[in-house]
C-alpha cells in the first residue's frame, strides 16, 4: 500500500484516500509513544476522551472492546498494540480518534491528539526502507516537518490487518 511515487498523496495512494481529493493534505496529527502520526482529516469522524469500553472476549489483542457512540457501536482498536509498542503507563488518560471504515465505526486509541495541519506535497517522502516492518505496513509515507517527521497512518490497512 506504499505510494508508488513521491508525487503526493492524491495521485499515489490507492482507494482509501481517493474520496478526499482536494484536501488530502490536511491531517489530524496524533502522538503515539512520542511519535507524530497523521490521519487524513476527512477520515476522522470524532475525537473522544476516555469512554467506557466493553471487553470483547476472543477478539484479537489489538481490539480493546466496543463502545457506544450516540447509539452506534464503535469497535475500539489499540494502536499502540498494532504498532508493537508497550502499554502506556497507567494513570495517563487516553484519547481516541473515531474513523469510519466500510460503513463501520472504529475508534483508534492513541496517546494524544495534536492539531490539524495542511502539509505541502514537496515535503512528502516514501517510507524509508529501514522502517520497522510492522510500521511500514501501516504507513503511507512520511512528511518532513520542520521539527519532526510525520508518519501518515494507513487507517484502512490498519483495520483490515486485524481481520481474523
Partner 1 sequence: MDELIGEFITETNESLEELDVDLVNLEKDPNNRDLLSKIFRLMHTIKGTCGFLGLPRLEKLAHHAENVLGRFRDGDLEVTPPAVTLILESIDTVRFILEGIEQTGEEPTGDDSDIISRLDAVYEGRDVPAAAAADGKKGDNIKLIGDKIDHKDDEAAPSGFVSEEELEAVFAATEVLVNTNNTAAADDEDDDDDEIEVMAASAPASKAAGKGAANASEDGSAKKASIATQSLRVNVDVLENLMTMVSELVLTRNQLMQIMRQQNDSEFTAPLQRLNHVVSDLQDGVMKTRMQPIGNAWAKLPRIVRDISLELKKKVELHMHGQDTELDRQVLDMIKDPLTHMVRNSADHGIETPAEREAAGKPQTGKINLDAYHEGGHIIIEISDDGKGLSTKKIIDKAISNGLATADEIQDMSTQQIQQFIFHAGFSTAEKVTSVSGRGVGMDVVRTNIEKIGGSIELTSIEGKGSTFRIKIPLTLAIVSALVVEAGGERFAVPQLTVRELVMVSEKSDVKIEMIKGSPVYRLREQLLPLVYLNDVLKLKGYETQGAAKDAAEGDNVINLESKAASQNQYIIVTQIGAYMLGIIVDRVFDTEEIVVKPVARILREIEVFSGNTILGDGSVIMILDPAGIARATGKEEGSDVGAGVEQMEEQVHYDAREKTTLLLFRAGDRAPKAVPLALVSRLENVNIDSVEYANGQMLVQYRGQLMPLLPFSHAQQIPEQGNMPVLVFAEGKKSMGIIVDDIVDIIEEHVDVQMSGSDGVMGSAIIAGKATDVCDVTYYMNSVSNGWFDIQTSVGYDSDDVEGTSEHARRKILLVDDSPFFRNMLTPLLSVAGYRVTSVEGAAQALELCDKGEKFDLIVSDIEMPDMSGFEFAKKVKSEDSLWNNTPLVALTSHGAPSDLDKGHEVGFNKYILKFDRETLLDTLEETLSLSRR
Does 75 bind partner 1 (CB under 8 A)? Our answer is: yes
> b/e map of 45-75 (b: 16 or more CB within 10 Å)?
beebeeeebeeeeebeebbbbbbebeeeebb
Please list every residue from 4 through 43 that binds partner 1, using CB under 8 A: none
The size of the interface with partner 1 (CB under 8 A), counted in residues, is 24
Q: Residues near 60 by Cβ (< 8 Å), separated by ≥ 6?
A: 162, 164
Q: Which of 50, 104, 132, 148 contacts partner 1 by CB under 8 A? A: 104
Strands 149-153 vs 35-40: parallel, antiparallel or unpaired: parallel
Question: How far are the Cα atoms of 31, 42, 118, 144, 150 from residue 147, in angstroms, in the given order?
Answer: 14, 25, 15, 8, 10
163 counts as binding partner 1 under rule CB under 8 A: yes
Single out the residue of 13, 43, 66, 96 in contact with partner 1 (rule: CB under 8 A).
Answer: 66
Q: Does 164 bind partner 1 (CB under 8 A)?
A: yes
Closest CB 65 distance from partner 1, rounded Å: 8
Residue 97 or 119: which CB sits closer to partner 1? 97
* Contact positions vs partner 1 (CB under 8 A): 52, 54-60, 63, 65-68, 71, 73, 75, 102, 104, 106, 159-160, 162-164
Amino acid at each position: 500500500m506504499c505510494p508508488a511515487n513521491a508525487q503526493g498523496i492524491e495521485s499515489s495512494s490507492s482507494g482509501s484516500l481517493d474520496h478526499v481529493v482536494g484536501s488530502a493534505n490536511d491531517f489530524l496529527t496524533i502522538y503515539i509513544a512520542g511519535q507524530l502520526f497523521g490521519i487524513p482529516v476527512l477520515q476522522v469522524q470524532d475525537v473522544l476522551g476516555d469512554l467506557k469500553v466493553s471487553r470483547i472476549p476472543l477478539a484479537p489483542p489489538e481490539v480493546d472492546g466496543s463502545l457506544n457512540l450516540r447509539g452506534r457501536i464503535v469497535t475500539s482498536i489499540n494502536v499502540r498494540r498494532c504498532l508493537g509498542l508497550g502499554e502506556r503507563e497507567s494513570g495517563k488518560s487516553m484519547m481516541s480518534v473515531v474513523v469510519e471504515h466500510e460503513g463501520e465505526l472504529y475508534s483508534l486509541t492513541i496517546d494524544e491528539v495534536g492539531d490539524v495541519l495542511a502539509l505541502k506535497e514537496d515535503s512528502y517522502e516514501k517510507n524509508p526502507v529501514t522502517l520497522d516492518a510492522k510500521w511500514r505496513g501501516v504507513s503511507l509515507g512520511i512528511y518532513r516537518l520542520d521539527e519532526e517527521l510525520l508518519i501518515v497512518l494507513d487507517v484502512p490497512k490498519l483495520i483490515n490487518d486485524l481481520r481474523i
